[in-house]
Structure 1
Amino acid sequence: MRTEMQRESGAVTPLELFFDLVFVFALTGVTAFMAEDLTWRGMLRGMLIFGLLWWSWVCYSWVGDVARADEGVTRPALFAAMAVMFVLALSIPESFDDLPGGLHGPVVVAVCYFLFRGVHLVLFWIISADDPGLRGQLLRFAPSMLVATTLLLVAAGTEGPTQTALWAAALVADYLGNYLGGARGWRLRSAGHFAERHGLILIVALGESVVAVGVGVAKLPISLPIVATAVLGLILSATLWWSYFDVTALAAERAFAATPDTDRPRLARDAYSYLHLPMVAGVVLLALGLKKVLAYVGDPVHHDLAEPLKGVGLTALVGGLTLYLLGHAGFTWRVLHVVNVRHAVPVVALLSMLGIGPHIPALATLAVLTAAMAGLVAFETTRFAEDRHRIRHEH
């Protein structure tokens, strides 16, 4: 059955938004996974799980730009993929260590990943019935997925550092294999649709950071420190939203749309599929850091208000913001060919908090980071007011 091709002006469909809800749950699961094992190993493994989820989502972001997600065979295929991803998300706590009873968690994760990617390949094969170039791209695309799945299955039978290394190798195989496979066969019908889809998944991640704050205090009596932490966390998330959606997303989408059709797939792969990865990963780490700050200020029995944020919690908070800014700078450079040196100053300031944070209260660390990001947003908004007005209001 053929699917209706996406028009150049195509907008994100309600089914795609529904599809993304599964990833809201999955991202929440990644944050919870790292919070349960607040060690360097736990954070590394959490990021590996996130990398698996991100690449799974990326594959389907291309589907919706070639064929309408709510028409033809695409609709049931997306529902099938949602079911598989939901099972994978449920299995996140057992991604590395199987719990007694039931199915073997690591194997379930590997099988779900294979099925999720398999549905994507079959769907694209159907869509590309009259497009030899796209089918050729799929043939170059498939081996990396098979290698990655094989490594995950092998990892399921191991433990410790070997298991973690095999997971890392699986992701390297998938990400690098896809990059080396090129982009000449991919098709993009609507630059606006593709850019909007990635903007929406970033909002999903930012929403997860807000959810992390809410879940973190759900069972705690409300207090002034909790209120302060919640407000600062929301402001911090808002600054990340502002830095991307106020001007950058608009300018990037227009530049993306103006890119010749022959060059557009490569730009889409680099700027959106790859360079949005550090931004979304940064937000996930930020959610973990906020969750840890709330644990410090909201539990006076086990923590003192003057207790500093240290170790993994501090690294997640500072590292998440730094990773986001670096990803944002890379995205701006790739699409707009602008080197955003203004982000270098806050990055240095943020990294300095790794040395200062262990000596000041956790809430003070959050306040300093929030002030730094708010200052960056305020500076860019006022310093480039004319350019901002032009970009936001030109048609």
Structure 2
Amino acid sequence: MVDASQVTAEAEAEEQRAGWFELFFDLVFVVTVSVLAHDLHGDPGPREFATFLVLFFPLWWAWVNQMVTVNVFGSDPARVRAVLLAAMPALGLMAAASPEGLGDRAWAYALGAAWIRLLFFLLWFGRARRPGSTLPLWRPVTYCLVPAVIWGVSAAVPGPVRFVLWGLAIALEVVLLAVQAGISAEFYDRLKVEHMVERIGLFVVIVLGESVFTVVATFTEHFTGLSALAALLGFFVVAELALIFFTWGTGAAARGLTAVQSRRAVRALRDTVMYLPFVLVSGIVVIAAALGTAVGEPDHVLPPGARWALSGGVLAFYTANAAISLRYGDGLGTVMRWYVFCLVLTPGALLPASVYLPAWGAVACAAGLVLLLAKLSKLSRARGQAAAAGAGPAAPVG
């Protein structure tokens, strides 16, 4: 006979995993990341970097809010699947509008953002109306419906005013999260850690996949020996970033999120799920753009924009990892044992190397740096875990 407790445990474990419909939903982001990363190839300037961040954050914000929503509701209920399916065209509209997302197609981008928030409102408002719900009705109105209206209005207004409204809509959601108004501590207790870790990991897979695609597609167009060398080194950089994230990052995330959830450290939970992964994935995207430029012209020195993309992307990736580790409760000394090398070597070695060496040489330096940081972080974590085991539980993180 089958043990009932085993069946219950298996059902709970299955509930915490990402459903196939969520994975289907993520297909839109494969296109989105590719479209947004396109303008970062070659020699991007401050305008191109700013445009990428301005257009990528609302899309990321929509995705992470969708992830939390499914975490709470589950992906099986018909209404959740209907919302995910209805949200995909909205995300597609935002992606299609992105090449001119701050220009002629800004209205379409804004309508896509309004569309998604309206769908989330329908789900959360329905939950707030349930008998016995601890979620006040005003919460989904202010967090979902009001931003949806602001985004919708912005589609009809001209230039600078439109972007002020975008900032206002996002700021409203960010402030509501910061003050935690209308959300009980029990809400955070119900969040499924395994599901969040898996979903963020799958999003990182999307971004890493775009990086591999960029390297291979560029090599296809520039089929030379030096391009092959640059592509091989670029693949090593991407593979090492993936190894760092999936070998140590996901395990640390599961332990760290479980720890902060048990301590009800809601700010740490919010930061490590909503904000800091955006910095991490943005770093990977700009690294990928620089690698594509290097593969295309391996015997030339990287243009200034690509140099900043390569160095800034590495710095962003490891800065996000360092900040996440600190929010999980790792000691400052443990984190700084490896992060200090990133702070010193990225501007002190990698950036100068990209100025004087041909592009393939700059990528080789990046490969050496990420390998060094991987070894140092592994050693530092091992020492930190040993010290923590001898010293007792870590101090609470707020």
Aligned residue type for 2:357: I
Q: Measured at CA, do residues 325 and 317 of structure 1 come closer, stay the same or move farther in structure 2, by a change above 3 Å? A: same
Distance between the aligned counterparts of 1:315 and 1:181, measured in 2?
A: 35
Identity of aligned residues (%): 22
Aligned residue type for 1:30: L
Question: Of Structure 1 and Structure 2, which has the larger fraction of its residues in helix?
Answer: 2
Distance between the aligned counterparts of 2:56 and 2:99, measured in 1?
A: 13
Per the alignment, residue 344 of structure 2 pairs with: 348
Cα deviation for residue 259 of structure 1 reads 4.0
Q: Give secondary structure in 2 for the equivalent of 1:275.
A: helix
8 A contact 2:307–2:351 mirrored in 1? yes
Tell me the TM-score normalised to structure 2 length: 0.82
More displaced 10-residue stretch of structure 1: 22-31 or 84-93: 84-93
Query: Which of the numbers 318, 326, 341 marks the counterpart of 2:311?
Result: 318
8 A contact 1:147–1:174 mirrored in 2? no
Cα deviation for residue 321 of structure 1 reads 0.9
Per the alignment, residue 110 of structure 2 pairs with: 110
Per the alignment, residue 18 of structure 2 pairs with: 12
Aligned residue type for 1:373: V
Structure 2 unaligned regions, length at least 5: 1-10, 389-398
Query: Which of the numbers 124, 140, 143 marks the counterpart of 1:141?
Result: 143
Per the alignment, residue 4 of structure 2 pairs with: none
Aligned residue type for 1:182: Q
Q: Give secondary structure in 2 for the equivalent of 1:12.
A: coil
Cα deviation for residue 106 of structure 1 reads 1.3
1:7-64 per-residue CA deviation (whole Å, 9 max, x = no partner) reads 5761111111111111111011100133388322112101211111111111101011
8 A contact 1:140–1:181 mirrored in 2? no
Distance between the aligned counterparts of 1:163 and 1:293, measured in 2?
A: 39
Per the alignment, residue 226 of structure 1 pairs with: 227
Query: Which of the numbers 158, 174, 177 marks the counterpart of 2:175?
Result: 177
Q: Measured at CA, do residues 43 and 251 of structure 1 come closer, stay the same or move farther in structure 2, by a change above 3 Å? A: closer
> What root-mean-square deviation, in Å, do the aligned CA atoms of Structure 1 and Structure 2 show?
3.0
Q: Measured at CA, do residues 83 and 143 of structure 1 come closer, stay the same or move farther in structure 2, by a change above 3 Å? A: closer
Tell me the TM-score normalised to structure 1 length: 0.83
Distance between the aligned counterparts of 1:196 and 1:282, measured in 2?
A: 20
Q: Give the count of matched residue pairs.
A: 367
Per the alignment, residue 62 of structure 2 pairs with: 56
Distance between the aligned counterparts of 1:119 and 1:181, measured in 2?
A: 24
Q: Measured at CA, do residues 36 and 293 of structure 1 come closer, stay the same or move farther in structure 2, by a change above 3 Å? A: closer
Alignment of 1:211-360 (within 5 A): 211-220=213-222, 222-260=223-261, 263=264, 265-297=266-298, 305=299, 307-339=300-332, 340-341=335-336, 342-352=338-348, 353-360=350-357
8 A contact 1:96–1:163 mirrored in 2? no
Q: Measured at CA, do residues 175 and 274 of structure 1 come closer, stay the same or move farther in structure 2, by a change above 3 Å? A: farther
Per the alignment, residue 48 of structure 2 pairs with: 42
1:364 partnered with 2:361? yes
Q: Measured at CA, do residues 233 and 164 of structure 1 come closer, stay the same or move farther in structure 2, by a change above 3 Å? A: farther
Per the alignment, residue 68 of structure 1 pairs with: 74
Per the alignment, residue 102 of structure 1 pairs with: none
8 A contact 2:240–2:370 mirrored in 1? yes
Q: Measured at CA, do residues 260 and 48 of structure 1 come closer, stay the same or move farther in structure 2, by a change above 3 Å? A: closer
Structure 1 unaligned regions, length at least 5: 1-5, 99-104, 298-304
Q: Measured at CA, do residues 265 and 276 of structure 1 come closer, stay the same or move farther in structure 2, by a change above 3 Å? A: same
Q: Give secondary structure in 1 for the equivalent of 2:347.
A: helix
Aligned residue type for 2:151: T
Q: Measured at CA, do residues 135 and 12 of structure 1 come closer, stay the same or move farther in structure 2, by a change above 3 Å? A: farther
Distance between the aligned counterparts of 2:353 and 2:169, measured in 1?
A: 34
Aligned residue type for 2:117: R
Distance between the aligned counterparts of 1:110 and 1:239, measured in 2?
A: 37
Query: Which of the numbers 68, 74, 84 marks the counterpart of 1:78?
Result: 84
